[in-house]
Amino acid sequence: MEGREIKNSGKHPRGFTHAWRATGIALQGLRAAWQHEDAFRQEVLVAAIAIPVALFLPASTFGKAMMIASIFLVLIVELLNSALEAAVDHTSLKQHPLAKRAKDVASAAVLLSIVNALVVWGLVIKYAFF
């Protein structure tokens, strides 16, 4: 096997067609999260307010980028949390300690991403105004 090229299995097209289809799938995922996840809708609302605020604050370009990135990180982690919860629920709706642990850990990741955003925003605002 060494030195041989791995060929496309035909599962996914290559090039622009793959990128186009992958973008469509990603948009379906965003649509599903919007339709089925209250927390995601709430966080998008916060992002819709916070991102323009970040752009208009008298912070450095790097500070603004960090503020916006921290908001996107919350959205990304929420999407991953929602995906994990859906996968666990699909596997079984029965209560199981490992399922609970998986969901709790994913929720903790969301919480930490929110704390991260609050810390980033606090630090940037502190140094922009004080």
Residues marked active site are found at: 78
Tokens of 10: 């035909």
Coil/strand/helix, residue 7: coil
CA dihedral (41, 78, 118, 108) positive or negative? positive
Round to whole Å and give the CA distance between 47 and 77: 14
Task: Give the C-alpha distances (Å, rounded to integers) separating 67 from 29, 83, 98.
Answer: 25, 25, 35
Residues 6+ apart with CB under 8 A from 83: 29
Helix segments in the chain, DSSP class H: 15-36, 38-56, 61-91, 97-129
